Amino acid sequence: MIYEVFRQEREGQPLQHGGSLEAPNAAFAEAYAREFYGRRNESTTLWIIPRDAVAEVEEPYVADVFDRDYRRVDGYSIKVKLKEARERAGALAD
Amino acid sequence: MSAQAPSRTDLLLAIADDELVVGWRNSEWTGIAPFLEEDVAFSSIAQGEIGHARAFYELAATELGTTADALAFDRRPDEYRCAPLVELRFVPDWARTIARHYLYETADAIRIAGLKESEWDELAGLAAKVEREEVYHLMHAQMWADRLAASTDGRRRFDEAVTELWPYALGLLEGEERERLAETVGREPVDAVERGAHTDELVPLWDEMTMVRRSAPGAEW
């Protein structure tokens, strides 16, 4: 069975995918995970998850068929507006 | 061997030699273990044993006024004090390899627990350190024993191998510790294959193990 291994490098950090390993059962997976990802004290936490237990989300985006760029911060540029605002502020200060 | 009671350095060398030789035998699986993950894990255990051997040799070397390398590689085969169990060559027989691993680690845990109570402070301290790694070796051995026992064919092969090696395993320990091993393994004590005489397999092993060092006597590496 294939197990996916997640590791946390330091306390407080998020767990990140470290890699995968093959093992006949969970006890072996635990031993091998310790060997591969914990032997050099490089992990504070290890998670092992059978690959079968991982549900993959198909098409992991929300269909965006209408033009709603304004919902996104990258939808429009505030560069010009900012420049105008600065000029106005400058004019007021004079 | 002298007829007197073994000195404390003799006892230390017996342990160090056991660890070196079993580590060496286990390392013979590097690159050819049944699957990759196990190859890495078993090689790492082999390296762990050799590391423990080094620590025990170093302690003996301070007593004897020599070096760990000289003790590990410059003695003649008949001067080694390892138990016959660790000398046996099992590649490519995985069942016997795991049976030895299981018996060795179980016996070693008993031995280490005893050493932690030693009045020799350095040895007690070293035993405590070694134990922290040996815990994982024992877990690995137990997990494999369970794995083999879970199938009919695996159980048969594993049991046959344990039966064959049982008298050798008893030879690792002395006195009461043998009874403790018998209890732990769930077998009756039998006549042990004692430490002192060597199997025919030690000389070829020694030959290979010391080959490089003998190729350049006195060299600094």
Whole-complex ipTM: 0.82
Quick check: B57 pLDDT over 50? yes
* C-alpha pair distances (Å), A31 with each of A13, A44, B46, B128: 23, 15, 15, 22
Task: Write out pLDDT tens, residues B141-199.
Answer: 999 999 999 999 999 999 999 999 999 999 999 999 999 999 999 999 999 999 999 99
- Domain boundaries in chain B? 8-215
| A35 vs B35, B41, B143: nearest CB | B41
- pTM of this prediction exceeds 0.95: no
- Find the closest chain A residue to B136 by CA distance: A31
Task: Classify domain B8-215 by CATH architecture.
Answer: Up-down Bundle (1.20)
What letter represents residue B119's amino acid? Answer: E
Quick check: A38 pLDDT over 80? yes
Which pLDDT score, from 0 to 100, does residue B1 have? 45
Q: Which helix (H) or strand (E) holds B62?
A: helix B36-64
Which pLDDT score, from 0 to 100, does residue A29 have? 97
Structural domains in chain A plus CATH codes: 2-53 (3.10.20.520)
CB-CB neighbors (< 8 A) of B40 in chain A: 32, 35-36
Taking only residues 2 to 61 of chain B, the set having a beta carbon closer than 8 angstroms to any beta carbon of chain A reads: 35-38, 40-41, 44
Quick check: B69 pLDDT over 70? yes
Find the Cα–Cα–Cα–Cα dihedral B20, B197, B207, B12, rounded to 10°: 30
Q: Which helix (H) or strand (E) holds A47?
A: strand A45-50
CB-CB neighbors (< 8 A) of A22 in chain B: 35-37
